[in-house]
Structure 1
C-alpha cells in the first residue's frame, strides 16, 4: 500500500492505475486527471521522471493529427506511416509515461487520432513499448474556456480521476516542499492469478444488476460504464488487493481510494452500489470448504454470493482432476449442489456445473472410482446421477455424451 498521506487528492489512485497491468497486457491503465488550473497536475506527473522512467509531455492542441496517427508517405508505390519524433524518446528507458496535457483543448480531429494511441497504444502502425503508461490532464467542463468536449469514445478509454490540492497540504508544502510520488509495483503473474476472482465478483454483481453493464455518456460527464470500463475496474480492484488495499479497512482511506478508481471507470451511480456489494459480500475460503474445514450455509447466501462460491469451488476441483483429492473435493461439491437443488436455486449454478462437465470432471470421477473400487466411488456416482438426471438439466445431455 502507498504509505504517504501528503499527496494531492487523486494521486494515490493515479499511482495504482499506473502500476496496474492492463487488460491488453501492457502496464498501466490510461488515466485522465481533471483539475482546475494551477493544482500541480503537470508538475506531479513530470516529477515521476528519473533515470529509469522517461516522461514525454505533449500539449494536444498544438499538435497535428498526424503527430498521433503518423504521417503518410509514399515509399516504393506503397503508403507508409512515418513515426513521429516523440515516439523515439522512450528508447533506452526501461519505462515511460506519455503525458497528454491540456487534453480538453484538442480539436475533434486530434481526439480522433488519439483513440488508437490511448487504447491500442499504436502510433499509426508502430506500437508503443509495453512499459509506457498513458496519462492525460484536462480542466473541468465548467472551466473549459474555448475548449472542446471530449468525445464519448475517447472518454471511455480512460480512468477519470479528480485532482485537487487541499488547503492544509498546500500550506504544509510551502514550508516543507512538495512530496514526489513513487510508482508501486504489481507483479504481472500474481495479478493474472488474482484477476479471475475479481471478474467472478463483478460478474455476480452484474447478474443482480444487468442494467449496470452500460450507462449513458450523456448522464456521466467523466467515466461511464461499458464492457471496456468494467475490464478496467476488475484489473484495478485486483491491483488494489495485491497492494494491500482492503474494502473493510477501518480508517476509510483505503475504501476512498478504491471508490475513486471505480467512479473513474464506471461513474458514481454505478460505482457506489458496486462498492457496497463488494464490501458486504460473504465468501468462504473455497479450499477450506472442499477440505471440510469450513461449512457453508447455502440458504444464507444470496444468489450473487452463491454464483461466486461455486465458481470459486470450480477452480480448486479443476486443479484436482488428476490428484487423489478429486474424490473428497467432489463429494463435498456434489453435496453442496444437492443443497442448492433443495433450496430451489439450481439455475444459479448451471454455468459452473457445465464448466466442470466440459472439463472432463465426470469421466475423471468414473475412472478414479473404478481404480479405488470402494464404496465412496459408488456413492459419488450415485450423487452425480441424481444431479444430472434432474429434468432442469436436460441441456447437459449433449455435454455428457
Structure 2
C-alpha cells in the first residue's frame, strides 16, 4: 500500500505508542529514515538505529557465555551492543532496523523471535520498545534479494513510501531550503524522485540528493554549478536546474518588488512565476506583508491565483507571525482567503 510522507508520519505516530511494528519500503533516498526520526521526536521516544546488513546472527541472540550450574558448566547467551541497549531501555524506545532487506537470511531469521515474541531466549524486551524497519525494493538496485515471509508477517502493516512534491515543499520551506530549488522542483515535480534504470556509478534525483544540492547552492561558484549539481542528481536534472537558475537570477529582486509592488511587472513565463513566488515568500515578514499583499492582489487580478496562494502559504510556513499582521487578517475576508481555504 502506497503512502505519502505526511500519511506515513501520521500512521507511525499512531502505531508506535501501541507498540505495533511497521515495515516501510521504497526507493533509496526518499526520506524513510528521516520520517522515523521525526516520529521519534514527536512521540517522545529514544531512537536506536541498527543496520542488519552488517550484522551477524549473534548480534540478535547474544554471545554464548560460560555459566556455572549445579550440574556443571553450562552456557547462556550474553546480550551486547544494540540488543543490550534495548533490553535495558527505561524510556520509550523505537528500535529501527534500517535496510533490513539487504541482510542475510540468517540475520533476518534471528530477528523473528524479537519481532513477534519480543524476547530472545531467556531475555525479554521491555514493553516500552517498538520495532520499525525499512528496506529498499528488489527493483531498486540496492542489493535487496527479499525479506523472508515469516519476517514480513511479523509486522502489523507494510507500506511503500512514495514522495510527493506537496509534502517535500512543505518540509523544504520550514527547513530553509533555498527558494530557487523549491521553485525549480515545483516547476519540474517529476524530477523530485526518479527511478534509476542503469547500474552506472552516478546519482539520480531523489529527496536525499536534492538535499545535497541545497547544501551546496550557496557555496558553489557559477563556473562549477553544472559539475556540482550533475554529480548530485545526474546530468539531465543538473542541466535543467542551471538553466532555471539563469531565469531566477534575471528576475527583479524581492527588495525591488517590495519597494514598488504596484508597478513592478509580473512575469508571464511559468518558470519565472514559480521562481518569483518562492523568492518573495522567503523575504516576507510581518512588517512588509502589507506591501507584499499589493503584489499578491495584482496576481489574483491577473488570474494567477495558484501562484498567489503558493506565495502566501510559503510565507506563513517560513514566518508564522505573518498571520498576526493586519494585512493578512484583512485579506481573509477577500479572494485570497477563499483561495487559501480552497473555496
TM-score of Structure 1 vs Structure 2, range by shorter chain:
0.3 to 0.5
State the TM-score, normalized to the length of structure 2. Answer: 0.45
State the TM-score, normalized to the length of structure 1. Answer: 0.39
